[in-house]
Amino acid sequence: MKSFIVILLGIIVALLVVGGVVAYSFMDGLGVNMENIDSNIEKINNKVSNVASSESSDSSSSGDGGIVSEIVKFNEQNGEGYYREVTYKDGGFRQYDAESGKLIGSSYGSDQANLPSLE
């Protein structure tokens, strides 16, 4: 019985190692590695910082301007790319394109004229 447990644990460890090798080779084949991920995150953070600093003067339209959360999401409506959603203390939100930093959505009436047309 004891040898059966040891053999079973050995098989589980072997499967984990083989699975890790397969996952690594698959990710490497796709060109996904930590350097790419880190550089992409750094690019997004730089763009978010640039947009946030340029919008700080417009914070009066969002109550006291206090940011509750910032989330980067996949743009399901467009089918490609990412957008950054900023939620403010007053419950309002603004959505910015992660690539260009342009305002693409907002719950504030004062922003509606600045949004791109849907046509």
Statement: the pTM of the whole predicted model exceeds 0.85: no
**Other residues' Cβ atoms within 10 Å of the Cβ of residue 30:** 9
**Which parts of the chain have pLDDT scores under 50?**
56-57, 59-64
Interval 72-94: pLDDT, tens: 988 887 788 899 999 998 889 99
Q: How far is the C-alpha of 5 from the C-alpha of 82, rounded, in Å?
A: 48
